[in-house]
């Protein structure tokens, strides 16, 4: 199986490193399954852990585990906020958990959930959850890291808006959605980043900023909205949604989303491949907010994406990427 995965991604990498186009005939997206959650608000991050699917949402205080039928099985509290109105935390006080990633650290499987940073004080939280030990939940105010990223990216008074997270073997990647300043990825040393999460201290935390010109449709630009790490070919899988807004925090009309891949070896060149998600030949006007790998086999990769519908409901899509 390992050799098949490596072969698949090696072939895939040859296809994606040549140029940064917005369409790719070799990247075929096929929706295999769809679940609509009427009572699960604002899904924004997703991970698969030992076959189980975990979700988070930007205005709910839980990490949610789904059963084999994709129904809610368990809620793990991430935030102490109890002010829930119609299943949602009010915008003025929500933690705005916009991204998550699962990774291995010292032999343990952990999931990191991050606030977006789009509002000081209320949207500054990092939550590190250790699977197999539900009592082991570490929380940290991550504003110092956000401020260092803002300074490095020369953002001035604009607020940061982290919507995607990917953790590789040596680096951590934070995806800023650029409704105003443009899209970029902040690259941090993984060990230094985890040291900050565990202790609240850092020394010389180096940060690299990589800017990306993402595709647009009918004058509406797309912005990073989710991400995960592709281990076997050392690449970043991302979603980029199109929302007609110039605000960091305000919602807008959604016109669709792209799924794409960035090879880390050429991340400094802004290269990527992306494909607009369609259903039955028509653009799917959904805001993809999170993505993760479910399975890789031969020349196919099954991924899970989640959608925030901005109305207290969410969607989950199982998508097959086929070459």
Dihedrals φ, ψ of 277, to 5°?
-75, 130
Burial class (CB in 10 A: 0-12, 13-18, 19+), 100: buried
Write the CATH number for 243.
Answer: 2.120.10
Query: What's the token pair of residue 265?
Result: 């070896």
Burial label, 305 (beta-carbon count in 10 A; 0-12, 13-18, 19+): buried
Instruction: Say if pTM beats, i.e. exceeds, 0.95.
Output: no
From first to last of its 323 residues, the chain has per-residue pLDDT tens of 444 444 444 444 444 333 444 444 457 899 999 999 999 999 999 999 999 999 999 988 889 999 999 999 999 888 776 677 767 877 888 889 999 999 999 899 999 999 999 999 889 999 999 998 867 899 999 999 999 999 999 999 899 999 999 999 999 999 999 877 799 999 999 999 999 999 999 878 899 999 999 998 888 999 999 999 998 789 999 999 998 765 555 566 889 999 999 999 999 999 999 999 999 999 999 999 999 999 988 878 999 999 999 899 999 999 999 76
Whether 176 and 162 have beta carbons less than 8 Å apart is answered as: yes
Which of helix, strand or coil describes residue 199?
helix
Residue with tokens 């953002």: 155
Distance CA 167, CA 229 (A): 6
CA dist 302 → 3, 49, 207, 220, 323 (Å): 17, 15, 32, 28, 12
**Structural domain count, the chain:** 1
Residue 323 has what pLDDT?
A: 61
- What CA–CA distance (Å, rounded) separates 128 from 56? 13
User: Domain residues for 76?
Assistant: 2-322
Q: How far is CA 155 from CA 141, 151, 193, 201, in A?
A: 20, 6, 21, 23
Rounded Cα–Cα distance for residues 32 and 303 (Å): 10
3-class state of residue 58 by DSSP: coil
pLDDT value at residue 8: 47
The partner residues of 239 in beta bridges, in order of sequence, read 226, 259
């Amino acid at each position: 199986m390992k050799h098949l995965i490596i072969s698949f991604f090696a072939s895939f990498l040859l296809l994606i490193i040549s140029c940064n186009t917005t369409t790719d005939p070799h990247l075929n997206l096929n929706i295999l399954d769809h679940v609509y959650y009427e009572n699960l608000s604002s899904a924004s991050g997703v991970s698969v852990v030992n076959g189980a699917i975990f979700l988070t949402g930007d205005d709910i205080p839980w990490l949610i585990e789904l059963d084999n039928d994709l129904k809610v099985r368990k809620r793990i509290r991430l935030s102490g906020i109890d002010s829930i109105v119609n299943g949602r935390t009010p915008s003025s006080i929500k933690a705005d958990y916009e991204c998550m990633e699962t990774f291995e650290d010292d032999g343990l499987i952990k999931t990191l959930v991050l606030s977006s940073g789009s509002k000081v004080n209320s949207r500054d939280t990092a939550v590190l959850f250790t699977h197999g030990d539900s009592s082991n939940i570490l929380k940290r105010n991550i504003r110092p890291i956000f401020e260092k990223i803002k300074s490095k990216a020369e953002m001035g008074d604009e607020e940061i808006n982290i919507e995607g997270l990917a953790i590789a073997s040596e680096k951590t990647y934070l995806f800023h959605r650029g409704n105003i300043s443009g899209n970029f990825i902040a690259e941090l040393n993984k060990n230094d980043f985890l040291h900050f999460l565990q202790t609240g201290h850092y020394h010389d935390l180096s940060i690299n900023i990589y800017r990306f010109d993402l595709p647009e449709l009918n004058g509406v630009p797309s912005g990073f909205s989710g991400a995960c790490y592709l281990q076997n070919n050392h690449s970043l899988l991302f979603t980029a949604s199109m929302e007609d807004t110039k605000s960091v925090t305000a919602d807008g009309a959604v016109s669709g989303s792209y799924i794409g891949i960035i090879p880390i070896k050429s991340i400094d060149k802004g290269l990527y491949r992306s494909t607009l998600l369609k259903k039955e030949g028509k653009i799917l006007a959904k805001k993809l907010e999170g993505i993760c790998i479910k399975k890789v086999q031969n020349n196919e990769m099954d991924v899970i994406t989640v959608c925030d519908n901005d109305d207290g409901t969410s969607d989950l899509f199982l998508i097959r990427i086929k070459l």
